[in-house]
Amino acid sequence: MDKTFEESLGFRHACKVFDESKKIAQKDLEFILDAGRRAPSSFGMEAWKFLVITNEELKAKLRPLCWNQAQITSCSHLVVVLAGIESVKVESGIPKKRFARREMPEDKLDFYLNLYAEHLKETLSSDENIYAWTAKQTAFAAANMMSAAAVLGIDSCPIEGYDKDALEALLDLDKSKFRLSMLLPLGYRINEQSSQQRLSFDEVVEYIN
Ligand SMILES: Cc1cc2nc3c(=O)[nH]c(=O)nc-3n(C[C@H](O)[C@H](O)[C@H](O)COP(=O)(O)O)c2cc1C
């Protein structure tokens, strides 16, 4: 039975080791990936891509580049979350295509495209700035995937502890198109869940009346 949202919040934790004998069913995997696909993105650009790795040899090659973390090889599926670079550039023609999905007249399309280019002038001025902007947004996709996984009783661990340049090279990424944002191993826990340490509600929330 699927967990309620409340239950899934308590279930999700940064799983350190997965049970290698348990594999995620394809339909569950697709549910999780689809939750990532449906995440919100700035101006609706969807500047992300998810690579799904199951190849054990490749996982073994990746692990030493990820602080030797056991999640990389023990997981059922390793999702590599990529941040888009080229696709958000006006000259790629893709932002126009993204806006055009809303079926608007040409003058309105031009208006949005100008607004986009103007508002994001600084952001779009270098690939590094673009990466900072799009990588931030991939966190929403990753969070959606972790939440969707938890609803199904599937574990995850967001991973940023790695040598980014080395991983991008090993994965043969064309960095003008996509760069590495996060790793998201998925699978089933083998150990008991760690206790959730969080600041109190009042430390985190401040009302401004
Ligand atoms: C961006 C990001 C990067 C993280 N990188 C790692 C990592 O490399 N290895 C790891 O075991 N956990 C990693 N974590 C998990 C956090 O350490 C974990 O979420 C936090 O300590 C709270 O624990 P909990 O999620 O189990 O409640 C990362 C979390 C985030 C959001």
Q: Which domains does the chain have, with CATH numbers?
A: 5-85+126-192 (3.40.109.10)
Contact (Cβ atoms closer than 8 angstroms) between residue 14 and residue 157: yes
Give the integer Cα–Cα distance in Å for 21 and 188. 9
Contact (Cβ atoms closer than 8 angstroms) between residue 145 and residue 32: yes
Residue-level pLDDT at 194: 87
Question: Per-residue DSSP letters for 155-186?
Answer: EE--B--S-HHHHHHHTT--TTTEEEEEEEEE
How many angstroms is it from 156 CA to the middle of ligand 1? 10
Query: Which atom of ligand 1 is the closest one to the Cα of 161?
Result: 8
Q: Would you call 80 helix, strand, or coil by DSSP?
A: strand
CB burial readout 32-47, b (16+ within 10 A) else e:
bbebbeebebbbebbb
- Substitution candidate for ligand 1 out of 160, 184, 194 with most atoms within 8 A of CB: 160
Q: Which residue has the tokens 């991939």?
A: 138
Residue-level pLDDT at 19: 98
How many angstroms is it from 150 CA to the middle of ligand 1? 15
How many angstroms is it from 13 CA to the middle of ligand 1? 8
Q: Name all contacts of 5-10 with Cβ < 8 Å and 24+ positions apart.
A: 5/147, 5/151, 8/147, 8/150, 8/151, 9/150, 10/196
Give the integer Cα–Cα distance in Å for 163 and 58. 16
Which residues sit with their C-beta closer than 6 Å to ligand 1? 13-14, 16, 69, 157-161, 194, 196
How many angstroms is it from 161 CA to the middle of ligand 1? 9
Q: Would you call 17 helix, strand, or coil by DSSP?
A: coil
Q: Which residue has the tokens 């995997």?
A: 29
Contact (Cβ atoms closer than 8 angstroms) between residue 117 and residue 90: yes
pLDDT along the chain (209 residues), means of 10: 94 98 98 98 98 98 98 98 98 96 92 96 98 98 98 98 98 98 98 94 98
Q: Would you call 92 helix, strand, or coil by DSSP?
A: helix
Residue 47 CA neighbour count, 13 Å, CB half: 29
Closest CA to 76 of 56, 57, 104: 56
Residue-level pLDDT at 117: 97
Give the integer Cα–Cα distance in Å for 3 and 189. 16
The residue whose CA is least distant from atom 22 of ligand 1 is 14
Residue-level pLDDT at 1: 77
Q: Which residue has the tokens 């899934």?
A: 8
Q: Which residue has the tokens 């090993």?
A: 170
First to last CA, the chain: 41
